[in-house]
Structure 1
Amino acid sequence: MYRMEGGKAFTQALQNIADLVPLPFLSSFVGVGIKVLQACQDASTIEETVKDLQERVFGVVLEVVNSTVASNDEGSVELRGGIETLQSVLADILEDLAKIQAQRRWLLVFFRGLNKDRVDRCVSRLAMALKKFQLRVETSQLRIETSQLRVEDVLARITALRPQLDRIEDAVNQFSQPHKATSHREDMRLLPPIFVGRDALVDRVARLFATQKTSRVCLTGVGGVGKTSAAVAVTESSIIRNIFPKEYIFWVPCITAKSSDLLRRILYTQLRITAATYDSLDPLIAELNESKQPRLLLLDNFETPWLSGLDAHEVEQIIRRLEALPHIALLVTITSGMPPQGIKWEHVSLPALEPAAAREVFKTTYRNAAGGFELVADDAQLDNVLESLGHIPLAITLMATHGGHLGASLDDLLVDWGKAGTEMLSAGRLSMDDTISLSMERGVKSNHNALTLLAILSMLPAGTTGENLLKWWARTIHISTRAVAILRTAAVIEQDRGAFATSRIFVLPTIQSYMSHQNRISVDVRNQVHDACYDFVMRHKSVPDDRKFKSDLEALASEETNIQGLLMDIPVDAPRPNAVDALIAFSFYQSWTKPSTVVASHALEVARAAYDDPHVTDRDAAARRVAAAHECLGKLFLILNRYDEACGHFEEAATRYKSLHGRSDLHCAGEALMQLVRTWSLSTEDPGDLESLVTEAQTNLAHDKNDQYHVARGLIGFGRLLRWSNHLDEVLDPLSRAKDIFEKLDCPASTAECLYHMARTYAYQNEYAQALSISKDALKQADESGDAGLIRRTLRITARYLMVLGLHQEASDIIARTLSESQAAGGPGTIAQALELLAYNCAGMMDVAGARVAYQGAQAQFTKIISTQLGRDGVERCSTNLGMLDGLIVMEQNDFSRLKHPLPMY
């Protein structure tokens, strides 16, 4: 049948050589025959009848061409007359089919009988014309058996006819071939063996070609992200194949087209069009314009002629002339999002792979390269590797192939990546370095500012905003929009949408790795970026009682990843000026946000090395830095419920502060001692005699009576001691005096701390209504300060007081926020206390299932700190309550009253 591949191949051959047949009347006949066959295909709603007509017309055209080409009497009047008669019949059939096609599709159902009769009459007319044709050409022994023509016969005759048609086509092509023209035509690229994670994007791009309005699509993305594969997948989609038959989809590889001349030659070759010369595009445009058959041109790697060539204007003219043909659809892959102007492009950016797809590509590629052996690693380990590669498909494929061939572990691969970077990513002709280097050649290497800017951005793994780039990181060089445009055009940086000042500009991990090796970033640039980092941290150094504390937190948070990476690069033996101060300041920042001991431990190591340096001139300053590093590390261990380690650092900090010359650092010793007291009270059931320690802390804090701030800090410590020693009638006086001082000094964090302890004192005396009111005031002040740790503690007591007062719905809102804040902090003790509050409140709301799940979560977190009193008590309470809830289906008030409540409830 015509609709089979053999029929398609035959009609394609006829279409290609119809105008080359030396008999004009035969050429005309073939043209009409092809139109009838195509019309039959379009009118296939009346399926069986049209199939029969297709088959008969197909057989007639085949036999006529075969007999005429093989005849020794091609000029016969009889032969010509018979063919012209058949052509007239075919023209009438074509007209009837056009009438059928003109009907609305839903009307075809009602006119099925009428249309069937019309097609049957077409078949009859064709049969009669064939009989007359047989008589006219009887001497040529034409035999047509249309009523019994089989597919096998058709295919056999195509095979016999093909060499004759090929000889004619080859002869004409050879005659028309211009001198020195390239005759090598590249086939469409194949999809890679592993192609996942792109289905939605491929479908989206394919649908854009459904109308001429969106038939100019620009697929953009960095080198190695898989633009070519995605574009090929688009051309193979069923949506595209319904619009453009396979023979009308053309692959135009532009990677070697470094000039408009080469681009023209490639177009002629790939589109199978010949001309006397390739110096003009006119013959190609004329050929494309002659047939209105829709065609799809895939111009792959278009950045080469457009961005790397020397005659971009001429390249633009070529594209605009192609675009002017409405039946020519364009799919362009390019690294830059700036294709030729004057064309209404549909821009589609190809992102890196999603984590799940990236894992699948890596594992499958590794297994194939390893001869079937599976990669032994969990997803978390693999995700670390994939993140270092930026989830770029080419980098993933090369890394997995490299690892699979060697049987290497992920740890081995990460070590290699750290040492060699993108140099290790190569397989055969594929190389990540080559891909990046090609991008770099697009104006970057020849522009000093652009290259310097790329080096700076490559040292900032998280990228930065345009404002911070100009104000901090690149302030020593003049950054013009030209330099940014060059880097974006070369696709070595990416920029979020929006205004330059607020949008984030960043370099992908593969580019960062490429730049970090082979001394591609100069020492001067490295020093400049590090100095900018230290300055940025010190300019945003503050404490919770400073009014600018919250804005400083936001500023540091915006650059946290970059800062941490740069600070961890500080060498222990030779830090630059301000490096140690920046390390300590940033460590304190993390104690107020997301606690981590990594930077603080490095800060202590660097501070100790600086203090031990025999060439140090200011030993007091060096000693002060060591003390501050100990204090900060102690604070972090306290937040993370590692109490024993915290105590050691607080003790060391207090000792070092007290040993400094003069008395200006005694208040620092007092603060360290206050933290030590708090840690001891949490770490053991019987912290022992804390009175002498609190007295010493208060004395150190209040050594300068004119320093009202630290005098008030000492009063807080004294008030806490009175509460611990059960002198409740005396607690509120020092706390109230301290609160008054902090309010006058406009210190929200310390004011909140005073209110926090006052609320707990009232709660301890069972005055929960008063305690709740004060705790809400404390929460407002804590929120105003921005101190996350203080906010968490205040949230917890507010939730407790609400539950005691039976306000469980209001408590739910507070607990939800408590859980969020605790999760951000990350300490198991903090999370455990929030989950236990949730469990108890669920029970108070008679939600037994919710209570059970929350208690199980709290128990798991308390178990992580089982070595502490807090952990042991928490595990015991959760275990007891889970036992009471076991088997319980409906919660009653009596059941709730039997549960152990969180401790303390004050």
Structure 2
Amino acid sequence: MGKTSVSLAVVESLLLRRRFSYSNSIWVPCIGATSADSLIEILYVQLQLPGDGQPTLGKIISELSQLKDPRLLVLDNFETPWYAPGDTQKQVGDILRQLAQLKHIALLVTMRGSRPPCDKAIKWQSKNIQPTDEEACLHIFYEINPDAKGDPDVGRLLRLLGYMPFAVTLMANLGKEAYLTAKVLLDAWLECGPDMFSDNPEQSIARSISLSVDSYLVKQNPNALLLLSVLSLLPGGTTRENLSWWAPTLKKALIPAAIATLSKAALLVQNKQQDSKLILFVIPVVQSFMQHQGRIPEHLRKEVHSACCRYVLEHARRYDLPKFMVESKLIAAEDTNIHAVLFDTYMTSATTLTDTTMEAIIAFCWHRCDTKPSLEIVEHALEIAYAYRVERYIALATWCLGKTCHQVAQFRLAYKHLQQAYKRFNDLSVDRRLREYACQCGNDLVDASRNVFPREEVVSLARKVEKKCATLGDNLIHGRSLMYLAFALQEADRRQEALPFAEQARVMLAGVGNLCHLSNTYQLIARIHYYDKKLPDALDMITQASQLAARSGSPFFEGFVAVEFGMILFTLDRDAEAREQIELAYMKASSYGDEHCIVLALDYRGYGYLREGDYLNALKAYEAASGKWAGTNETKSEQFCKENIAKIKQKLRTPEAVIGFRRPGFDNNDSLLYPRPRAASPVAMH
């Protein structure tokens, strides 16, 4: 029925343009949103929210809430997530309801169905798109193809089209661009058969699209059909510049003519993004037609898939390797498309899988782990690895799943998967690369165990992994193992044993120039000095750690170092600087989706307010933290947080009571905190 065309016309209308500028109208293609999580990811990408962290609905709502100018969200083809199988509708409904509650956000939803979504909670201005009358269709047809005026067969053609606006638009464009009379178009329509009048609107639209796709206008330009096929595989659309690697066989000089042809045939839309880049986008109904009618040749699917694999493998970097920040942005720019192409059902079937596909899938999963962790994606990758039945890839995917669990603070699951991966790698260690994987996975296993097991058990595991890493002859891997051993010893209150290992790790990691892990090591040494009450040394080390973390560009390390920096500054009574570090930690952790760092930052935010005697804000911070300790091994901090909530409520009930509060669990001072009274507000004298 032309849902997308109608919504485009509404968005382009003068009335809406007065309210919403081009940059404040955001197109959200929902055809690829087969779950609530994927809908959130598409929203996150289309809204171009800052930070590379894990996309969450809370983050989207928070960012939108801070906007001042009105925004229009166009949720196109919303039936895909709304009618997805399972209990998805409730989750999708929650997303829609929360968006609708934002007073400065307007929603325009297009979908198939007889009732709008969440119609009990949301007061929609609903409009069913009905076939237009003959007069309106004649206006559409003649406006597009004025040469057809006076053609006696136009009226009959429109009647046979059922007065469907989308079909009329396509036919009018074909007539204009290919210089076809209404009789020729009518004959072609009749040749398609009476099923054009089927009650199934998809079938009618598909037939109409076939007339456009198979028209002489398109066929006379093979590059146009090639471009259409490629873009139909890319649900997020792409820029003209990026076509060079999605369609390497399409010569750059021929792209403008191909774009012009598809635009004339009403098969291509060019959307301007907030950064002023034009996104070439095939409307979803055409994408669906191309993909499900066998219109895209198998060899082209393979070419696009191969190009995608090459691009991912060329640009994928782990967070602790050089050029990570630059290269990860190149992958993030095409995230939606890479996900769709890499995980294409045909290309990931057991009969068509290749080593290159598996390596690209796992590389993409590591990219997401280090930028926007997604358990759904890596779990899918593990299923594919099991279908491929190659132990190496099963181990790699399991390792990535474990690390992804760690990044989203599911520490027990992280340890479980990392332990399985570590065992698989050790069973496979027949070449150096696999032994490197085993050691790297072992380091991640030790890191995860710190949040799960008793301290001495972690020390024992860390010693075993360090011993294994020492035989490898790789200073980066061995340096990390020494660092984690030192962390384990420090957390077991064996600081004098920890310091030599930490210093050895610092020398090794400085030698290889790894800023991420070097900053982590300086942070560790600062912590050792802090608990030994050597505050000047601790301040010196944490300052260097902060500088290194900032240079690394990793929000993960910047966040955790900032928490530690804030802790030390609070102890030195430099509260203003401490609060700045805690807020930096919260910002970095939120952008990345690191729940562990977020809860620590909230805990210290509450502590900072307590020190000022600001009990209401302290209560808000502690209550925000209270539900986030689950899955961590921070039992002391969790208990202190709960105690402080109860004590603050008591203080608010009886302000005159003298109450001592718990300091954070990581503080080196176990004494109670007695907040200083807040200064009275100045009173104006008249």
TM-score range, shorter chain: 0.5 to 0.7
CA contact (8 A) 1:254 1:263 kept: no
Q: Tell whether 2:406 aligns with 1:638.
A: yes
- What SS does structure 2 have at the residue aligned with 1:495? strand
Task: Measure the CA separation in 2 of the matches of 1:251 and 1:623.
Answer: 61
- What SS does structure 1 have at the residue aligned with 2:241? helix
CA contact (8 A) 1:846 1:892 kept: no
Describe how 1:292-307 pairs up with structure 2 within 5 A. none
1:482 CA drift (Å): 0.3
Describe how 1:176-255 pairs up with structure 2 within 5 A. 201-203=13-15, 253-255=139-141
The amino acid across from 2:206 in the alignment is D
Tell me the equivalent position of 2:463.
695
Q: 1:878 aligns with which of 613, 631, 641?
A: 641
CA contact (8 A) 1:591 1:635 kept: yes
The amino acid across from 1:660 in the alignment is L
Q: 2:354 aligns with which of 576, 579, 583?
A: 576
Task: Measure the CA separation in 1 of the matches of 2:250 and 2:576.
Answer: 57
The amino acid across from 1:469 in the alignment is L
Describe how 1:383-398 pairs up with structure 2 within 5 A. none
1:473 CA drift (Å): 0.6
Describe how 1:140-151 pairs up with structure 2 within 5 A. none
Describe how 1:645-660 pairs up with structure 2 within 5 A. 645-660=413-428
Taking a change above 3 Å as real, the CA distance of residues 769 and 580 of structure 1, as seen in their structure-2 partners, is same
The amino acid across from 1:456 in the alignment is V
Taking a change above 3 Å as real, the CA distance of residues 582 and 663 of structure 1, as seen in their structure-2 partners, is closer
Tell me the equivalent position of 1:711.
478
CA RMSD of aligned residues (A): 4.3
Q: Tell whether 2:388 aligns with 1:610.
A: yes
Between Structure 1 and Structure 2, whose CA radius of gyration is higher? 1
Describe how 1:663-678 pairs up with structure 2 within 5 A. 664=432, 665-678=434-447
1:778 CA drift (Å): 1.7
Task: Measure the CA separation in 1 of the matches of 2:265 and 2:536.
Answer: 65
Describe how 1:698-777 pairs up with structure 2 within 5 A. 698-705=466-473, 707-777=474-544
CA contact (8 A) 2:173 2:266 kept: no
1:474 CA drift (Å): 0.3
Q: Tell whether 2:265 aligns with 1:490.
A: yes
Taking a change above 3 Å as real, the CA distance of residues 302 and 758 of structure 1, as seen in their structure-2 partners, is same
Tell me the equivalent position of 1:831.
598
Taking a change above 3 Å as real, the CA distance of residues 882 and 542 of structure 1, as seen in their structure-2 partners, is same
- What SS does structure 1 have at the residue aligned with 2:261? helix
Q: 1:433 aligns with which of 192, 206, 220?
A: 206
Q: 1:682 aligns with which of 444, 451, 454?
A: 451
Q: Tell whether 2:326 aligns with 1:551.
A: yes
1:596 CA drift (Å): 1.5
Taking a change above 3 Å as real, the CA distance of residues 833 and 444 of structure 1, as seen in their structure-2 partners, is farther
Taking a change above 3 Å as real, the CA distance of residues 899 and 492 of structure 1, as seen in their structure-2 partners, is farther
Taking a change above 3 Å as real, the CA distance of residues 491 and 681 of structure 1, as seen in their structure-2 partners, is same
Tell me the equivalent position of 2:234.
460
The amino acid across from 2:348 in the alignment is P
Q: Deviations over 1:762-796 (max 9, x none)?
A: 22223344323422322332233343332322222
Q: Deviations over 1:549-571 (max 9, x none)?
A: 11121112112222222232242
- What SS does structure 1 have at the residue aligned with 2:280? strand
Tell me the equivalent position of 2:218.
444
Taking a change above 3 Å as real, the CA distance of residues 204 and 658 of structure 1, as seen in their structure-2 partners, is closer
- What SS does structure 2 have at the residue aligned with 1:203? helix
1:873 CA drift (Å): 4.7
CA contact (8 A) 2:459 2:485 kept: no
CA contact (8 A) 1:572 1:605 kept: no
Tell me the equivalent position of 1:44.
none
Task: Measure the CA separation in 1 of the matches of 2:657 and 2:239.
Answer: 58
Task: Measure the CA separation in 2 of the matches of 1:654 and 1:591.
Answer: 18
1:538 CA drift (Å): 0.9
Task: Measure the CA separation in 2 of the matches of 1:697 and 1:262.
Answer: 78
Taking a change above 3 Å as real, the CA distance of residues 526 and 500 of structure 1, as seen in their structure-2 partners, is farther
Tell me the equivalent position of 1:627.
395
1:446 CA drift (Å): 4.2
The amino acid across from 1:473 in the alignment is W
Q: Deviations over 1:651-696 (max 9, x none)?
A: 2222222223546243432332332223222124x24433432222
CA contact (8 A) 1:732 1:758 kept: yes
Tell me the equivalent position of 2:287.
512
The amino acid across from 1:573 in the alignment is A
Q: Percent same amino acid among aligned pairs?
A: 25
Task: Measure the CA separation in 1 of the matches of 2:412 and 2:202.
Answer: 57
Q: Tell whether 2:308 aligns with 1:308.
A: no
The amino acid across from 1:878 in the alignment is C
CA contact (8 A) 2:463 2:485 kept: yes
Q: 1:263 aligns with which of 144, 149, 159?
A: 149
Q: Deviations over 1:393-447 (max 9, x none)?
A: xxxxxxxxxxxxxxxxxxxxxxxxxxxxxx9996689954366456545933543
1:197 CA drift (Å): 11
Task: Measure the CA separation in 2 of the matches of 1:451 and 1:689.
Answer: 62
- Give structure 2 stretches of 5+ with no counterpart: 1-5, 20-73, 78-107, 111-134, 156-166, 180-195, 669-686
1:205 CA drift (Å): 7.6
CA contact (8 A) 2:455 2:492 kept: no
1:460 CA drift (Å): 1.4
1:905 CA drift (Å): 3.2
CA contact (8 A) 1:607 1:625 kept: yes
CA contact (8 A) 1:466 1:500 kept: no
1:491 CA drift (Å): 3.8
Tell me the equivalent position of 1:595.
373
Taking a change above 3 Å as real, the CA distance of residues 301 and 708 of structure 1, as seen in their structure-2 partners, is same
Tell me the equivalent position of 1:133.
none
Task: Please identify, of 823-832 and 526-535, the stretch whose mean Cα deviation from structure 2 is larger.
Answer: 823-832
- What SS does structure 1 have at the residue aligned with 2:664? coil
1:592 CA drift (Å): 1.1
Taking a change above 3 Å as real, the CA distance of residues 844 and 429 of structure 1, as seen in their structure-2 partners, is closer
Task: Measure the CA separation in 1 of the matches of 2:149 and 2:613.
Answer: 75
Task: Measure the CA separation in 1 of the matches of 2:242 and 2:395.
Answer: 32
Task: Measure the CA separation in 2 of the matches of 1:632 and 1:693.
Answer: 20
- What SS does structure 2 have at the residue aligned with 1:504? strand
CA contact (8 A) 1:797 1:905 kept: no
Q: How many positions carry a matched residue from both structures?
A: 521
- Give structure 1 stretches of 5+ with no counterpart: 1-193, 208-220, 228-248, 270-299, 313-422, 612-621
1:501 CA drift (Å): 11
Task: Measure the CA separation in 2 of the matches of 1:761 and 1:627.
Answer: 35
Task: Measure the CA separation in 1 of the matches of 2:499 and 2:202.
Answer: 78
Tell me the equivalent position of 1:852.
619
Tell me the equivalent position of 1:899.
661
The TM-score with structure 2 as length reference comes to 0.66
Taking a change above 3 Å as real, the CA distance of residues 557 and 692 of structure 1, as seen in their structure-2 partners, is same
Task: Measure the CA separation in 2 of the matches of 1:196 and 1:542.
Answer: 39
CA contact (8 A) 1:712 1:741 kept: yes
Tell me the equivalent position of 1:807.
574
Task: Measure the CA separation in 2 of the matches of 1:679 and 1:206.
Answer: 53
The amino acid across from 1:880 in the alignment is E
Q: 2:243 aligns with which of 463, 469, 494?
A: 469
Task: Measure the CA separation in 1 of the matches of 2:312 and 2:17.
Answer: 45
Taking a change above 3 Å as real, the CA distance of residues 257 and 545 of structure 1, as seen in their structure-2 partners, is closer
CA contact (8 A) 1:728 1:761 kept: yes
Task: Measure the CA separation in 2 of the matches of 1:425 and 1:843.
Answer: 69
The amino acid across from 1:463 in the alignment is G
Task: Measure the CA separation in 2 of the matches of 1:745 and 1:429.
Answer: 59
Taking a change above 3 Å as real, the CA distance of residues 198 and 816 of structure 1, as seen in their structure-2 partners, is farther
CA contact (8 A) 2:626 2:641 kept: yes
Describe how 1:861-876 pairs up with structure 2 within 5 A. 861-862=628-629, 865=630, 868-870=632-634, 873=636, 875-876=638-639
